[in-house]
Amino acid sequence: MKRLQDRVALVFGAGSIGPGWGNGKACAVAYAREGAIVACVDVIAAAAEETVALITAEGGRAMALACDVTKESQVRAVVEAVMAAQGRIDILHNNVGTTKMGGPPDISLDDWHRQLDINLSGAFLACKYVIPIMQAQQKGVITNISSTAAIRYMGYPYASYYAAKGAVNQFTVSVALQYAGDGIRCNAILPGLMDTPLIHQQIAGHYADPAEMIARRHAACPPGRMGTGWDVAHAAVFLASDEAGYINAVLLPVDGGLTARCV
């Protein structure tokens, strides 16, 4: 028996922003490999469909849905569609996130609000509509993807991202403790310096060229290499499994020890 056999996993941000394996894409495939039925959601329908194709090619079960997590009506519609198709939601995985370079003088108020909406309010809206389902089931697992930027200055000037991810951490803790008596567990994964398509889209401009970015990020990690989407995926599968049944309100760094280092 696979660890997540026949459980229904709803993954927001299951597509990839570019070629390769982002955190959400890897997590969706990893859930499916452990027997879950995966609802793959992305703001770009084709990205969700690509992940579904990868899952079904391996004999897994999945469905693709498009959604902008900052739009309440779309989040509600996705949850309703999954319930109509599957009848339950056992795992909620909130992976959607983005960065915006700039300190307070450098970005607009609209930029600030959009960062909070994408990184924080999207998780809130998903929880708003999924928690009542899990309460009725008296069982469920919520995993929010935060960042080591929630607890450390990472060297990048993105104040709005630090603020949003810090809020995700405390949101996670509040949900975990408020609903523990309903059989719901809620944890956050804090990826460190990761080698994913996102960094080429949103971080590369902070360096002279992509090669310099890769080299410097590898060098900054205690193991001498960045993590990958699969490192996050393996942690997510564990947190969703019965093996983690007494793990709740945990903010889990997946960072190769980066945040434990003093310099």
Any idea which residues carry the catalytic annotation? 161
Q: What is the DSSP letter of 127?
A: H
Torsion sign over Cα 120, 126, 127, 129:
positive
Report the distance separating Cα 174 and Cα 88, nearest Å.
23
Report the distance separating Cα 237 and Cα 258, nearest Å.
22
Check if the beta carbon of residue 157 is closer than 8 Å to that of residue 173: no
Check if the beta carbon of residue 69 is closer than 8 Å to that of residue 126: yes
Torsion sign over Cα 16, 39, 250, 122:
positive
Residue 97 half-sphere exposure toward CB, CA atoms < 13 A? 30
Residue with tokens 């955190």: 23
Report the distance separating Cα 122 and Cα 43, nearest Å.
12
